[in-house]
Amino acid sequence: MIFDRNENKEVIVLLGAGSMGTAIIRRFAHGRKILLGDISQKNLDKVCQELTYSGYDVETMIVDATDRDSINEFAKHASSLGKVMYYVHTAGASPSQASPEHILKLDMVGTGYAIDAFGQIMAEGGAGLIISSQTGYMLPIPYEVEQTILNSATDELMNIPFITETATRSGTAYMIAKRVNHLQAMKAAATTWKERRARINTISPGIIVTPLAYDEFNAPGNTYQNMIDQSAVRRTASSDEIAEAAAFLLGEHAGFITGTDLLIDGGVIASIRSGAYNLH
């Protein structure tokens, strides 16, 4: 049976077939051609089946989100499907899942590769969204270091002394990577994506209940519980809440928004910055 006879559909691309990315696709991708990328064939098969059974038009591709060539091939394939109007990046590892080096390679450098690659093929009027984290606000990076990051190519990031000397633990590596995501999107919005008349932004979620988050819930200590208890809203959020904000930033009503981050954390960072909650 043919569910959709429309041709020349807009293409929406997701790299990282987890629950948050899938929620964004479900919220925003009806009537569009979907390309899913992930390192796990099992994840791709599961998400593809769920979306296909819900009436979405889906293709999948194995992608190593730490490898520039793999990401470039992913972008090339996306452009072969039609006008790439939307790119969503959720690929990443949490502190309890990986070493500092792997987190930097995946969450920081790999994200940069994707921003670079899709900045070459996005259609005019298109929009990109990088899922960062509230932790990007937790470790201050000196202004001069941020300027170095903004003026460095993606392959040079791992050679910046502040990053190599500070990211000795998975937690600090994650914080640095997520702040760098903000800067990567800011730089792209003003340069490569601007040249294609496409927008790009980041979202920094707080504690969102996902399968990945359970690895952090089960980690030693009470950090997550304390953040929930000390936040303004005193609860976690769902992937669907992030998907609502994502749909806004990707859509026409956000046409004047680019190069910025939307913090969606229930007030955790506000509590930290105001002194109401001591993270340590």
- Look up 174 and say whether it is catalytic: yes
Catalytic one among 178, 187, 194, 214? Answer: 178
What pLDDT does residue 220 have? Answer: 67
260/257 Cα distance (integer angstroms): 7
CA distance 225 to 238: 16
What is the C-alpha separation between 196 and 122, in angstroms, rounded?
A: 7
Per-residue tokens: 85: 């109007």
Q: What pLDDT sits at residue 276?
A: 81
Q: Please report, for the chain, the start and end positions of each structural domain, with discontinuous segments joined by +.
A: 11-206+239-264
CA–chain centroid gap for 234, Å, is 24
Q: How far apart are the first and last CA of the chain?
A: 57
The CATH number corresponding to 11-206+239-264 among 3.40.50.720, 3.30.70.2170, 3.30.70.3420, 3.40.50.300 equals: 3.40.50.720
- State which residues of the chain have pLDDT below 50: none
Q: Roughly what angle, to the nearest 10 degrees, separates helices 239-250 and 19-28?
A: 50
In the set 56, 86, 113, 174, the catalytic residue is 174
pTM of the shown model: 0.94
Q: What is the pLDDT of residue 280?
A: 67
CA–CA dist 145, 266 (Å, integer): 29
| 237 alpha carbon, distance to own chain's centre | 17
The closest alpha carbon to 104, from 65, 69, 131, belongs to 65
* Number of H-type helices and E-type strands within the chain: 13, 7
How many CB atoms lie under 10 A from the CB of residue 80? 11
Return the pLDDT at 1. Answer: 62
pLDDT tens profile 39-72? 999 999 999 999 999 999 999 999 999 999 999 9
The residues pairing with 60 across neighbouring beta strands, listed in sequence order, are: 36
Residue 60: strand, helix, or coil? strand
Supply the pLDDT for residue 216.
67
Confidence (pLDDT) at 254: 97
Confidence at residue 12, expressed as pLDDT on a 0 to 100 scale = 98
